[in-house]
Amino acid sequence: MLILLAMQDKPPANLFPERLNALAAVPVAVLFLMLLVQVIRFPKGPDQADWLLPCLISLATASTLTALARQLQWQYVLSAAFICALIGSVADTLSLNSGIPFGPFVFGPAAGVRFFDRLPWTVPVLWILVLFNSRGVGRLILKPWRKMKTYGFWLIGLTVALSTLFDLGMDPFMGHLQHYWLWSPTKFPLTWMGAPLINFLGWMFVTLLILAFATPVLIKKQPGQRNPSDFHPLVLWVGAMTLFAVAAGRHGLWEATGLDVVAVVAALVAAIRGGRW
């Protein structure tokens, strides 16, 4: 129903006033930042902050959606979120059963309550969080070139790259440290903090598939209107990568820490430069 509504030629009236969307994003973002500080300060060990990380994921995703609703109508935002969550969840379920496309793994008890005793509720939420904010950072970086005819293709490619880079930072934290998922050995010797390289190739493919279906919904239906640069996705993307870097450094995972720091600096420089255009 939401998808059919989103694909109509004439955009329907927004379900919530624009001012309400803007006000809703503020307290959610503040709560997210408060929890982020608490998670960074917490002692080592995945079992010592069980309630913090699920709250952080939930609030960050809620903040992402409310911020996006300042640019798009809620029906489009929810339609795109549904597409993202559905395709990402199906891909993870397939990988649980067959090892394709991400490689063999199992979800740990820390991942939370599961749908049909298989898929944790955090999985579709993480897909929304990662893809929407990666796309938002990509829009900031490409803002000087938004009038190019190939802008849409560049945005899709950059979103895939940013989300994969995020996954490279997230996997050591969520898998190796927090035990949300546990990787099984494979025949290929090359891994990244225990994760097989096929996981990141699979992530790129699934992200591209999601964007192929979600991008038409996320395109503004009133192209004549211009919104100021939205740095909200950059704050969440950089905040999450900073969390990954701090946690990896505290546990001696210096390769992951170095990757996260380089990614944060590069994203900040490119996005701020593009956003100020």
pLDDT for position 41: 64
Only one residue has tokens 């420089």, namely 269
- Residue 170: Cβ within 10 Å count: 24
pLDDT for position 190: 83
DSSP state of 106: E
pTM score, whole prediction: 0.86
pLDDT for position 38: 63
Separation between Cα atoms, residue 243 and residue 257, nearest integer Å: 10
Please say whether the beta carbons of 166 and 241 come within 8 A: yes
pLDDT by residue, tens only, the chain of 277 residues: 444 334 444 444 444 444 544 555 566 667 667 666 766 665 544 444 577 788 888 888 988 998 898 888 999 999 999 999 999 999 999 999 999 999 999 999 888 889 888 899 999 999 999 999 999 999 999 999 998 999 999 999 999 999 999 999 999 999 988 889 999 888 877 899 889 999 999 999 999 999 999 999 998 766 555 667 788 899 899 989 998 998 899 889 999 999 999 999 999 999 999 988 8
Residue 82: Cβ-neighbour burial (10 angstroms; 0-12, 13-18, 19+): middle
